[in-house]
């Protein structure tokens, strides 16, 4: 007994020490310094004060650009979901018995997801030029990886007994996937896709920073020209836009999940 208590104390001490080391290492590596922060506050106030009042002379143009961002998010998410959907079955162990295909598709998903939207944006801007289209491709690439992984994990959790029932009717493998597996994961898929629409609107606002269209591109332009009052207008539009999309998406997802829980 005494030995056990000692052991657990010893362990707690070790874990505590490890946490302290990790934080010290991270803080010293990043020059995180509260004094610097406090000394910087007047500069921040100065910067923010120069933003007031917000300049709304280009409001119409900015709103159009915000809609472009929404369009990018819609097309990017849809494209990503459509690519991820068939591939995700190949990356589900209960559907694909071929280990090679399984690992290759998983690898594709990991790569797509592992590369940030901004980096994808840089790649596609160099491929198809500036504008919203490379932004759409960047979002689609990242979403393919993310949704592909979630979709395939959802497929792996379906009820095998229901699959057996469809198999027993003499259905072929394709029909079993379409009529036995897909109906079981459909609400989850829609839920994830809407979550990524929400996510993509947020990601799309920053994609403009690398020249991939939308409201982010206006932001970076105004910042470079020191039009601080315009910057504020754009930031307000971004925040309101993100909040609106988040609310809408959350509402839709809640409805879907509620249906799912009833079952």
Name the residues that contact other proteins, by CB under 8 A: 159, 161-162, 164-172, 174-175, 178-180, 183-184, 186-187, 259-260, 262-263
In angstroms, what CA-CA distances link 170 with 22, 61, 89, 100?
A: 58, 59, 20, 28
CA–CA separation, 68 and 39 (whole Å)? 39
- Nearest to other proteins of 7, 93 (CB atom): 93
- Min dist CB 261 to other proteins, Å, is 11
- Min dist CB 181 to other proteins, Å, is 10
- Min dist CB 107 to other proteins, Å, is 28
- Min dist CB 255 to other proteins, Å, is 14
- Nearest to other proteins of 31, 263 (CB atom): 263
- Nearest to other proteins of 18, 259 (CB atom): 259
| Main-chain dihedrals φ then ψ at residue 54, nearest 5 degrees | -60, 140
174: tokens are 């394709």
* The dihedral formed by the CA atoms of 184, 187, 191 and 197, expressed in degrees to the nearest 10: 100
- Min dist CB 9 to other proteins, Å, is 42
- Nearest to other proteins of 122, 154 (CB atom): 154
CA–CA separation, 13 and 124 (whole Å)? 50
* Residue 75: closest CA among 182, 186, 196: 196
CA–CA separation, 135 and 119 (whole Å)? 11
- Nearest to other proteins of 35, 262 (CB atom): 262
* Residue 91: closest CA among 81, 107, 106: 106
């Amino acid at each position: 007994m005494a030995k056990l208590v000692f052991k657990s104390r010893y362990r707690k001490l070790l874990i505590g020490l490890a946490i302290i080391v990790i934080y010290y290492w991270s803080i010293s590596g990043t020059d995180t310094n509260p004094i610097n922060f406090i000394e910087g506050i007047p500069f921040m106030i100065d910067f923010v004060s120069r933003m007031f009042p917000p300049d709304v002379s280009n409001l119409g143009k900015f709103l159009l650009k915000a809609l472009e961002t929404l369009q990018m998010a819609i097309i990017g998410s849809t494209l990503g979901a459509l690519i991820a959907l068939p591939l995700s079955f190949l990356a589900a162990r209960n559907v694909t018995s071929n280990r090679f295909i399984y690992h290759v598709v998983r690898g594709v998903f990991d790569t797509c997801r592992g590369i940030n939207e901004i980096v994808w944006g840089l790649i596609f801007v160099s491929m198809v030029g500036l504008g919203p289209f490379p932004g759409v491709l960047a979002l689609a690439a990242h979403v393919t990886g993310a949704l592909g992984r979630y979709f395939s994990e959802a497929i792996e959790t379906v009820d095998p007994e229901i699959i057996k029932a469809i198999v027993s009717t003499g259905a072929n493998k394709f029909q079993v996937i379409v009529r036995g597996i897909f109906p079981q994961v459909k609400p989850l898929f829609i839920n994830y896709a809407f979550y990524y629409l929400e996510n993509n609107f947020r990601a799309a606002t920053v994609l403009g920073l690398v020249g991939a269209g939308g409201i982010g591109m206006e932001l970076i332009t105004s910042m470079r020209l020191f039009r601080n009052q315009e910057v504020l207008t754009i930031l307000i539009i971004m925040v309101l836009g993100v909040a609106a999309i988040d609310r809408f998406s959350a509402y839709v997802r809640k409805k879907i999940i509620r249906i799912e829980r009833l079952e």
